[in-house]
Amino acid sequence: MSGEHEPRTQAPEEAPAPEVQADDAAVEVDAEVEAVEVEAEPDFKDLYLRAAAETDNVRKRARRDVEVASARGVARLARELLPGLDNLERAIAAAEAEESDAEHHLTKGIRLVQQELQGALTRVGIESYSPVGEAFDPHQHEAVAQQPAEGVESGVITQVYQPGYRYKEEILRAAKVVVAA
């Protein structure tokens, strides 16, 4: 029995071995927790760079939105002013048509007001265009009539009734034209 007794004494000695395995498992769990904590720890440099890029994008978007809003405001104001400018031109033409008023002081005053308005529009980037001799383009011109014209190809603008206006690339008002038939 003494031989059988020895294994029993060894069995209690083996008991500490499972404890060591439990300690190994605890060490592995601790290592996994540390790995998760390291992964969960934010990379502050990356967060800073992302926030800086987002701030820059917001600034650019805001600047672009302000430019678009400004352009819309300028275009809207110009559309409202153009009929008045046309009426000034008509008033000058009517006054100059009368023989006695060709050089009248009132005509000169109206011409000065017209030139001042034209200058203000030019300073903000609005330009007048008169497309005589150009090919008709329905995106830029409004045909009010077609007339046969000698020596001119069909589709070419021969006369302008009302000049067009554009702001940068946007057509504020199409030129009213007569096109050769």
Q: Is residue 13 part of a domain?
A: no
Residue 35 CA to chain centroid, in angstroms?
A: 46
Helix 2-14, helix 16-40: angle, nearest 10: 20
Q: Is residue 16 part of a domain?
A: no
Mapped onto helix, strand or coil, the DSSP state of residue 146 is: strand
By C-alpha distance, which of 35, 162, 2, 34 is closest to 89?
Answer: 162
Residue that the structure tokens 């805001």 belong to: 62
Indicate whether 113 belongs to any domain.
Answer: no
pLDDT at 20: 46
Q: In the prediction, which pLDDT does 94 show?
A: 82
For residue 50, is it within any domain?
A: no
CATH number at residue 164: 2.30.22.10
Interval 20-34: pLDDT, tens: 455 565 556 666 666
Confidence (pLDDT) at 28: 67
- What is the pLDDT, as a whole number, of residue 44? 87
- 29 domain-assigned: no
Number of domains in the chain: 1
Contact present, 129 and 166 (Cβ < 8 Å) = yes
Residues spanned by the domain of 143:
128-181
Stated pTM of the model: 0.61
Low-confidence ranges of the chain (pLDDT < 50): 2-3, 9-12, 14-15, 17-20
CA–CA separation, 154 vs 145, rounded Å? 13
Burial class (CB in 10 A: 0-12, 13-18, 19+), 164: buried
65 domain-assigned: no
Which amino acid, residue 165? Y
Task: Note the pLDDT of residue 33.
Answer: 62
CA distances, 8 to each of 2, 3, 16, 124 (Å):
10, 9, 14, 103
